[in-house]
Amino acid sequence: MNAQMPSKVSLPGVKQVIAVASGKGGVGKSTVAANLAMALHISGHAVGLMDADIYGPSVPIMFGLGMVDPKTTVFPIEKYGIRLMSMGFLVDVNQAVIWRGPKVAQAVQSFLTQIDWGQLDYLIIDLPPGTGDAQLTLSQSAPLTGAVVVTTPGEVSLIDARKGVKMFGEVRVPILGIVENMSYFEDATGTKTPIFGVGGGARLAQESDVAFLGELPIDPRVAQCCDQGEPIVRKYPDAAIARSYMALAKTVADAANKPTATALPFLQL
């Protein structure tokens, strides 16, 4: 390790640290991270969710929160039983964060080292899209159990997702698996329509020799719930998409607790 690489931080109260990543924006990565965290909590685990997207934080909106006074607020903030930290708590939603890379890395590092996360079974880290400073800082300094890479079925998304897979490989972070979001739309008759392509996530997992964690269908209520500040897993627990997230949470938990496993059986969520 050279002198410019950050040293690994210690989070003694946190059992598993899982990064949720994507190669590009618009694939629903933050939605997956928020609902994965919520599903793990509903399953009985102590969970934290760290928003590492400094330029475009979305966790506060997804949990019905906003900017707070850091002088009078104790971080992390708890909502729906999940401990949360985000730049969105420190900067007004309409204010742009205009920072160069080193300052972004410093902010991400401070979220890890200066926040008392307490005792957690899982700390989910919602990474920004791409392979920039925040991703590298966390990959090199956070005690990551592994990463979950989110993609959509289309080739444009897969091209960038491959870059994310390669980045984690180069920094020696295990990949727990690939999640394919927006796989299909299922109408009232049960007919499934693949709007954005077919099977891309499974192909990426196979060519990357990592586990395919499953498919998540399209449900317009997912975005509505995010805008209204309550993850769909909590608001509509009986919805098919909510059951899909609960199944995903179990699969991710199993993978995180068996990090030496090279593959998991295909799971139709």
**Structural domain includes residue 246:** yes
**Structural domain includes residue 264:** no
Q: Say if strands 120-126 and 47-51 run parallel, antiparallel, or are unpaired.
A: parallel
Q: What mean pLDDT is predicted for residues 88-101?
A: 73
**Highest mean pLDDT, choosing among 1-5, 12-16, 37-41:** 37-41
Q: Position of tokens 């179990």?
A: 250
**Structural domain includes residue 228:** yes
**Structural domain includes residue 83:** yes
**Structural domain includes residue 267:** no
Give the alpha-carbon dihedral of 238, 17, 261, 257, to 10 degrees: -70
Give the domain CATH number at 131: 3.40.50.300
- pTM (2 decimals)? 0.90
The proportion of the chain whose per-residue pLDDT surpasses 70, expressed as a percent, equals 90
**Structural domain includes residue 237:** yes
**Structural domain includes residue 6:** no
Give the separation between CA 165 and CA 208, rounded to whole angstroms. 8
The more confidently predicted of residues 262 and 91 is 91
Q: What is the pLDDT of residues 121-168, one digit of tens each?
A: 999 999 988 777 778 788 888 899 999 999 988 887 888 888 888 888
Number of domains in the chain: 1
| Residue-range definition of the domain harbouring residue 198 | 14-256
Q: What is the pLDDT of residues 25-52, one digit of tens each?
A: 788 899 999 999 999 999 999 999 999 9
Under DSSP, the state recorded for 8 is P
Task: Mention every residue, 6+ apart, whose C-beta is less than 8 A from residue 255.
Answer: 146, 176, 177, 211, 213, 261, 264
**What is the pLDDT confidence band of residue 1, given thresholds at 50, 70 and 90?**
very low
CA dist 154 → 14, 46, 194, 210 (Å): 35, 35, 10, 19
| Neighbour-count burial of 109, counting CB atoms closer than 10 A to its CB (0-12 exposed, 13-18 middle, 19+ buried) | middle
Token pair recorded at residue 253 = 């938990």
Give the separation between CA 48 and CA 34, rounded to whole angstroms. 10
**Structural domain includes residue 77:** yes
Residue 112: CB atoms within 10 Å:
24
